[in-house]
């Protein structure tokens, strides 16, 4: 049993590792680590199930620092408990080039960092996906191998961000009882007291959403321990409001915003040492305290060994399936089912919207790949994201099934999908309208930063959605997503390209995929079956000319049909045009220069897309032309809009004749 004195010294080790690292870097946030050191000490020494020697153990508890600016709290904990990736040199090089100890926790920099938490609110929202992922895997594999908690430290900033309300509401509705949020209730933000900007009662917010709520003194280890113990017994998610003093121990700056985002300074730091009785030099942890922390880290070995024994007792097929899912490997037979489907559509030549083509291929994939978990932000019937084999995932249904009704929570959905992917064992996809990627953007960016396989099914992809008008017509969104690093954007032209886009998305293990899918029906242009995936090349000649090429027409999505029609008109006038489908700029740019040159040719080029013309110049060159949108759309039927804005075969023909 830890005495009050022992607890204080262990917590002070966090405080001074954090404050000294910030001081050395002359940059960072010492206040939160100093304020939440007591809570973190109790959590890591009494409750958190983890083993630093096996940091990727699937049944470990997850700890998410939503208040990511206080990153030195996490780095200190990882160092003290014995994670190899966070030795003392990493602590000393906080916020320096090449160190694992970045300004905010960055997933992939070192074991023990479960997610990147940059923008406030993303951490708590991502945690909903972690907790839901645990329940989904538990429903499939049972308590013996999947039975862990997700703990979150969140601050006032996390809870002020609007995404937090979506997360809180979703978690309460889903009854995610193994999600525990520790609220750093210090009443301070960057500008000063939170009373400057808010007067809401966060506890009532959580209660209204169906959470269990407690209020404690965040510096009383006995109260902290009792509260966490109670939270673990509830049948709802739990929030523990921990009343703390930001910069605890700082003699003149403690309790003020002065400790939030700046080093304490030599004088204040010396004063904190004197006030808290910490006599050690910077980065020097007394041997008995370091030993106590290392013992706390070592206590997880027994849990890990016991889990390993239970896992070995699973029947072989269940064990193999668990390992396959956790490792992110697809079932061996999925490609056979996929190729059979591709043969079918090249024979049947359906004329459907690519959002419907997406649903059709999902019917095949979700049957072959049971870990695919779909969802939509209250647009299931419009996004076509639900398949016949997917029952809704609900608390009452024991979290079986394969589909999540996210409600009108685009922010929360996107963040939760990151959590599902990071948890492991789940391949998440979710849908909304492409225009609402504005609401999903922070989470999409984090998907890209963390190299997570998350699929964003974004329908109603251009002015072609028609009557809903300019507020819903995503003129600039594809261009902005193409500008985001490590995001693969695919805008398929027909049922075959849509199928191939899905094959790319589910095998893309280095980042997210955004599908841009139509509302309007499109003909199948690819009429011959090919086993190789042409979308994987990003661009290819979908319709070549008979003689020497005189002009190249480049299009994506619904405009490929227009380009093919223009090709026929040009042929009638004696002009040889080749049509290039360019569904993914990112995939095309990754091809060899020789391949790209072969596809695009050396003759004049014209691009057409019912979206912003921004960026197309790199494909058409200085002497080419781009037909597209130069402003916002309008409310009218799709065919009227295309005519009005000049996105037509006739416009292509005219432009081609001017260039040839």
Angle at 276 between CA 273 and CA 282, to 5 degrees: 30
Tokens of 528: 């011959």
User: Are 211 and 175 spatial neighbours (Cβ–Cβ below 8 Å)?
Assistant: no
User: Are 468 and 527 spatial neighbours (Cβ–Cβ below 8 Å)?
Assistant: no
Tokens of 625: 């032309």
Count of C-beta atoms within a 10 Å radius of residue 281 = 9
**Phi and psi based region of residue 120 (left: phi greater than 0; alpha: psi -120 to 50; beta: remaining):** beta
Instruction: Give the integer Cα–Cα distance in Å for 145 and 320.
Output: 13
Please measure the distance between the N-terminal and C-terminal CA atoms of the chain and give it in whole angstroms.
Answer: 85
Angle at 262 between CA 162 and CA 269, to 5 degrees: 130
Active site residues: 410
Q: What is the DSSP string of 161-195?
A: STHHHHHHHHHHHTT-TTEEEEEEE--EETTEEGG
Q: What sections of 285-333 are H helices per DSSP?
A: 287-298, 300-312, 316-326
Q: What is the DSSP string of 29-66?
A: --HHHHHSHHHHHHIIIII----TTSTT-TTSPEEEES
The DSSP code for 434 is: G
Instruction: Give the integer Cα–Cα distance in Å for 28 and 70.
Output: 8
| Residue 331 buriedness (CB in 10 A; 0-12 / 13-18 / 19+) | middle
Q: Strand, helix or coil at 487?
A: coil
- State phi, psi for 610 to the nearest 5 degrees: -80, 45
Instruction: Give the integer Cα–Cα distance in Å for 539 and 537.
Output: 5
Instruction: Give the integer Cα–Cα distance in Å for 441 and 462.
Output: 18
Of 613, 601, 612, which Cα lies nearest the Cα of 659? 601
User: Are 597 and 559 spatial neighbours (Cβ–Cβ below 8 Å)?
Assistant: no
Length of the chain, in residues: 660
Q: Tell me whether strands 513-517 and 188-189 are parallel, antiparallel or unpaired.
A: unpaired
């Amino acid at each position: 049993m830890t005495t009050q004195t022992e607890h204080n010294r262990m917590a002070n080790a966090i405080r001074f590792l954090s404050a000294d690292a910030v001081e050395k870097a002359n940059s960072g946030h010492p206040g939160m680590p100093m304020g939440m050191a007591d809570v973190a000490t109790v959590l890591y020494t009494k409750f958190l199930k983890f083993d630093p020697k096996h940091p990727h153990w699937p049944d470990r508890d997850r700890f998410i620092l939503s208040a990511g600016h206080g990153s030195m709290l996490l780095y200190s904990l990882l160092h003290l408990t014995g994670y190899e990736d966070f030795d003392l040199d990493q602590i000393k090089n906080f916020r320096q080039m090449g160190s694992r100890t970045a300004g905010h926790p960055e997933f992939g920099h070192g074991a023990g960092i479960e997610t990147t938490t940059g923008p406030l609110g993303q951490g708590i929202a991502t945690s909903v996906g972690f907790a839901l992922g645990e329940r989904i895997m538990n429903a499939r594999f049972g308590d013996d191998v999947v039975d862990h908690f997700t703990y979150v430290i969140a601050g006032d900033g996390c809870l002020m961000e609007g995404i937090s309300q979506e997360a809180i509401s979703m978690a309460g509705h889903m009854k995610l009882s193994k999600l525990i949020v520790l609220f750093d209730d210090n009443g301070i933000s960057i500008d000063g007291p939170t009373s400057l900007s808010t007067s809401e009662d966060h506890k009532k917010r959580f209660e209204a959403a169906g959470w269990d709520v407690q209020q404690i003194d965040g510096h009383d280890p006995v109260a902290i321990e009792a509260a966490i113990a109670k939270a673990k017994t509830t049948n709802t998610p739990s929030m523990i409001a921990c009343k703390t003093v930001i910069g605890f121990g700082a003699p003149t700056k403690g309790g003020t915003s002065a400790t939030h985002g700046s080093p304490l300074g030599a004088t204040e730091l010396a004063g904190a040492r004197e006030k808290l009785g910490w006599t050690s030099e910077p980065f020097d942890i007394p041997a008995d305290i370091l030993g106590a922390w290392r013992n706390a880290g070592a206590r997880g070995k027994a849990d890990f060994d016991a889990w390993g024994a239970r896992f070995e007792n699973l029947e072989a097929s269940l064990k193999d399936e668990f390992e396959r899912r956790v490792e992110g490997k697809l079932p061996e037979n999925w490609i056979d089912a996929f190729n059979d489907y591709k043969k079918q559509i090249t024979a049947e030549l359906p004329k459907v919207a690519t959002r419907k083509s997406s649903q059709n291929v999902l019917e095949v994939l979700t049957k072959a790949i049971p870990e695919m978990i779909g969802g939509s932000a209250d647009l299931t019937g419009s996004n076509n994201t639900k398949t016949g084999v997917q029952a809704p995932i609900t608390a009452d249904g024991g979290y079986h099934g394969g589909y999540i009704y996210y409600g009108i929570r685009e922010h929360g959905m996107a963040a939760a999908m990151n959590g599902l992917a990071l948890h492991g064992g789940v391949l998440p996809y979710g849908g909304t309208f492409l225009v609402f990627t504005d609401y999903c953007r922070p989470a999409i960016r984090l998907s890209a930063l963390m190299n997570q396989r998350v699929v964003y099914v974004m329908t109603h992809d251009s002015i072609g959605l028609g009557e809903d008008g300019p507020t819903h017509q995503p003129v600039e969104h594809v261009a902005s997503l193409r500008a985001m690093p490590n995001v693969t954007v695919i805008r398929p032209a027909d049922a075959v390209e849509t199928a191939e886009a899905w094959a790319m998305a589910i095998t893309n293990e280095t980042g997210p995929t955004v599908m841009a899918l139509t509302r309007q029906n499109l003909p199948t242009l690819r009429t011959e079956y090919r086993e190789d995936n042409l979308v994987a090349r990003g661009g290819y000649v979908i319709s070549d000319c008979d003689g020497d090429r005189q002009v190249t027409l480049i299009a994506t999505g619904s405009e490929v049909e227009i380009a093919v029609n223009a090709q026929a008109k040009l042929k009638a006038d004696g002009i040889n045009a080749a049509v290039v489908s360019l569904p993914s700029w990112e995939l095309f740019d990754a091809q060899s220069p020789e391949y790209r040159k072969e596809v695009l040719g050396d003759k004049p080029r014209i691009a057409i897309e019912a979206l912003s013309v921004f960026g197309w110049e790199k494909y058409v060159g200085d002497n080419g032309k781009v037909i597209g949108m130069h402003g916002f759309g309008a409310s009218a039927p799709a065919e009227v809009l295309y005519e009005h804005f000049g996105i037509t075969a006739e416009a292509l023909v005219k432009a081609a004749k001017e260039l040839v």
